[in-house]
Amino acid sequence: MSVSTHVLDSVTGRPAAGMAVALHAGDALVAAGTTDADGRCRLVEGPTAAGPHRLVFGTGDWSAAQGRETFWPEVALTFAVREPAEHHHVPLLLSPFAYSTYRGS
């Protein structure tokens, strides 16, 4: 399974570069990274177990670095891995008081 994300700042309409992202399976940390200049982060390239996984985004620290306040100190998105061989792309669209996500390709 591979896991990636793409974070977009809905306030500026630009990628959220430099945001910390961690991938967990249960209580175990599977991978961690930081979004690149395009707001993208690829976390896992190899196989992992089926079951619930959680992406945790460091939205509070990132917002503070942008000189902005946010209601979200972190955003945690839990998703189900049913086919470990598939690619899982989970984008985050972020603003100070709202966020949305979807299963990407």
Q: Domain extents for the chain?
A: 2-101
Percent of the chain past pLDDT 70, that is, above it, reads 98
Q: What does the longest C-alpha to C-alpha distance in the chain come to?
A: 40
Give me the pLDDT at residue 1, please. 67
Give me the pLDDT at residue 46, please. 78
* pLDDT digit string, tens, across residues 22-67: 999 988 999 999 999 999 999 988 767 899 999 999 999 999 999 9
Looking at the domain covering 2-101, what would its CATH class be? mainly beta
- 73 sits in which H/E element: none
For residue 83 the two structure tokens come to: 């086919």
Q: How far apart are CA 98 and CA 86, in angstroms?
A: 29
pTM of the predicted model as reported, rounded to 2 decimal places = 0.95
More confident residue, 71 or 2: 71
For residue 19, count CB atoms less than 10 angstroms from its CB and return exposed for 0-12, middle for 13-18, buried for 19 or more: buried
For residue 44 the two structure tokens come to: 């896992």
